[in-house]
């Protein structure tokens, strides 16, 4: 049996992996998407299923107004004392001299919750993890330094955590590791193996220079000696299918084998002149891969198959393959009273403020809220792009009476980078179809004075988007059978981390597709969506 990478396709960054008895869990960053933190489970490291979103209420995560790519950075999942521990940051400022964030801790007896009320830890730096030593616990985190004459990544700091007092003990805090000359040392995890402390950390930034390094010490507080060679990186192999390899965590199997789950990206359009995308565009965002690890005679870990990371990896011995249902049913008819677990909203939970699955049974009703440029209250329900080629389709009932009302289908990266096909209102034609795009904050209407009038007798209109790796299109139908593809081809690179990085610090997520209702007139006009179909068409992908 083989592990085929990436194991978690689409935007699933910063994996934190653990094993509890015979079950593996991975927690991933979700940034400004709600609910916060995705947790997948597996019995064999090959097949994975999304099972939980721990931060599913505002008491645990309040992101209203958060900047693009703020919110939940690099959560850490651990298991000790008979319960699950989750450390996470809510980042409010991402650009400039400061990284304002608050780190929290929540626990649960079951991976699916309920999760406890959050304990505020500190704001020293992001990417914090919790190390459970034999008799004490420590928060392990990078420390941020805003001073212009210092490097902002000041090193890895340890601070003791008091379980009894439910707080950190700042008087115990010490910098224990400064990293290598590559700098940007972050994402630390400490493991005690064979009476030595191993510190794994990411460096180089979450771009093509990304890497993972390992250091070790006889004592928890150091000094730490760095391994002679970089543990994991694809920086020196521009042709490797997995790029941006770094930021991850270690796990062992019941039989004593070792694996490392890590962040990666799969670029297309290998030839590009962009300094930010020297190896292509990662429209699926930062994904999760896993590599097998072996230990040498000197006690240092190495990636089996080479430090660049492999697409195909040997699965653990003595495990039985466990198949899970597909990532999501091809078609969701909105017959349930809760959203499918693969759907997300922006910054705020799906409540009556945004919509309902019961007001009109069999339909997802969305109430019109802010535009897609807003960071406050957007009535958007979306899921990740998880394949380079797919179709997404919906059917909407909507009767706008002002051009300030729009409802339809969108491909979205962040508030400055998105497009949509929607129903709206025109002074002369009444209800019409329009296609728009926001690219680096510049808004464009593609149909302009050629908007498509919708027959008054029609109750519903169908919308579809078709993605072909490097481009995508929109189509509409009045009967669900005969489709009209609009003559506009959109550049999929606009929805990639690498493109957004060129003009903005908010480049940590990935492309989403979903349904949206905008009503900036403030009258909250509802739109009813009959179904949502997401169907992958095969990878048809090569790193070229």
| 72 CB-near residues (< 8 Å, 6+ apart) | 29, 30, 31, 36, 37, 55, 61, 88, 89, 90, 91
- In the residue annotation, 81 being an active-site residue is answered as no
Cα 460 from Cα 314, distance rounded (Å): 50
Helices (H), ranges, 46-137: none
Rama region for 115: left / alpha / beta (φ>0; ψ in -120 to 50; rest)? beta
Using alpha carbons, list the distances in angstroms from residue 93 to 51, 149, 523. Answer: 30, 20, 32
Q: Round to whole Å and give the CA distance between 541 and 263.
A: 19
What's the rounded Cα separation, in Å, for the pair 540 and 544?
A: 12
Phi first, then psi: what are they for 474, rounded to 5°?
-125, 150
How far apart (Å, rounded) are the C-alpha atoms in residues 312 and 289?
Answer: 10
Burial class (CB in 10 A: 0-12, 13-18, 19+), 533: middle
Residue 419 near residue 490 (C-beta atoms within 8 A): yes
CA-to-CA distance for 184 and 201, rounded, in angstroms? Answer: 10
Using an 8 Å Cβ cutoff, are 383 and 346 in contact?
Answer: no
List phi, psi (to 5°) of 38.
-100, 135
| Residue 163, preceding peptide bond in cis (omega within 30° of 0) | no
List the catalytic residue out of 14, 32, 127, 498.
14
Dmax over CA atoms of the chain, in Å, equals 79
In angstroms, rounded to a whole number, what is the distance separating the alpha carbons of residues 139 and 235? 30
Catalytic residue among 68, 76, 186, 497: 186
- The span from the CA of 67 to the CA of 58, in Å, is 17
Whether 14 is a known active-site residue: answer: yes
- Dist. CA 106–CA 37, nearest whole Å: 12
- Counting Cα atoms < 13 Å in the Cβ hemisphere of 44 gives 17
Closest CA to 222 of 190, 180, 182, 184: 190
User: Catalytic residues, which ones?
Assistant: 14, 186
């Amino acid at each position: 049996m083989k592990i085929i990478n990436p194991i978690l396709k689409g935007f699933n960054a910063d994996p934190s992996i653990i094993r509890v008895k015979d079950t593996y869990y991975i927690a991933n960053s979700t940034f400004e998407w709600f609910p916060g933190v995705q947790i997948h489970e597996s019995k064999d490291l090959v097949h994975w299923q999304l099972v939980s979103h721990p931060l599913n209420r505002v008491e645990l995560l309040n992101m209203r107004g958060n900047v693009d790519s703020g919110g939940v950075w690099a959560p850490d999942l651990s298991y000790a004392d008979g319960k699950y521990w989750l450390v996470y940051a809510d980042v409010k400022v991402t650009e400039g001299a400061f990284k304002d964030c608050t780190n929290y801790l929540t626990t649960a007896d079951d991976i699916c919750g309920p999760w406890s009320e959050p304990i505020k830890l500190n704001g020293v730096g992001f990417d914090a993890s919790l190390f459970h030593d034999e008799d004490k616990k420590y928060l392990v985190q990078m420390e941020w330094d805003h001073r212009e004459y210092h490097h902002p990544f000041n090193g890895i700091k340890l601070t003791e955590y008091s379980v009894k007092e439910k707080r950190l003990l700042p008087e115990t805090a010490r910098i224990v590791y400064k990293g290598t000359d590559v700098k940007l040392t972050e994402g630390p995890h400490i493991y005690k193996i064979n009476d030595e402390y191993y510190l794994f950390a990411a460096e180089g930034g979450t771009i093509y220079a990304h890497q993972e390094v390992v250091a070790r010490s006889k004592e928890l507080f150091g000094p730490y000696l760095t391994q002679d060679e970089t543990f994991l990186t694809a920086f020196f192999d521009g042709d490797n299918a997995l790029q941006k390899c770094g930021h991850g965590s270690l796990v062992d199997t019941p039989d004593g084998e070792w694996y490392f789950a890590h962040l990666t990206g799969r670029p297309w359009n290998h030839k590009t002149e962009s300094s930010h995308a020297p190896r292509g565009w990662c429209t699926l965002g930062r994904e999760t891969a896993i590599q097998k690890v072996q230990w040498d005679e000197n006690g240092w870990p190495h990636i089996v198959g080479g430090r660049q990371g492999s697409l195909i990896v040997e699965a653990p011995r003595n495990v039985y393959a466990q198949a899970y249902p597909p990532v999501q049913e091809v078609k969701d008819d909105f017959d349930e009273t809760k959203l499918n677990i693969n759907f997300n909203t922006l910054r705020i939970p799906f409540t009556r403020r945004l919509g309902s699955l019961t007001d009109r049974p069999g339909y997802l009703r969305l109430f019109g809220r802010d535009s897609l440029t807003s960071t406050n209250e957007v009535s958007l329900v979306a899921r990740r792009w998880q394949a380079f080629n797919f179709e997404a389709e919906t059917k909407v009932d909507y009767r706008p009476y002002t051009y300030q009302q729009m409802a339809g289908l969108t491909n979205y990266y962040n508030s400055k980078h998105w497009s949509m096909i929607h129903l709206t209102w025109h002074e002369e034609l009444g209800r019409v179809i329009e296609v728009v795009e926001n690219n680096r904050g510049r808004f464009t209407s593609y149909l302009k004075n050629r908007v498509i009038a919708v027959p008054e007798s029609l109750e519903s209109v169908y919308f579809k988007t078709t993605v072909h790796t490097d481009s995508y299109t929109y189509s509409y139908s009045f009967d669900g059978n005969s489709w009209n593809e609009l003559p506009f081809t959109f550049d999929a690179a606009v929805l990639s981390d690498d493109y957004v990085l060129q003009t903005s610090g908010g480049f940590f997520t990935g492309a989403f597709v979903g349904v949206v209702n905008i009503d900036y007139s403030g009258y909250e006009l509802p739109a009813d969506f009959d179904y949502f179909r997401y169907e992958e068409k095969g990878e048809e992908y090569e790193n070229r």
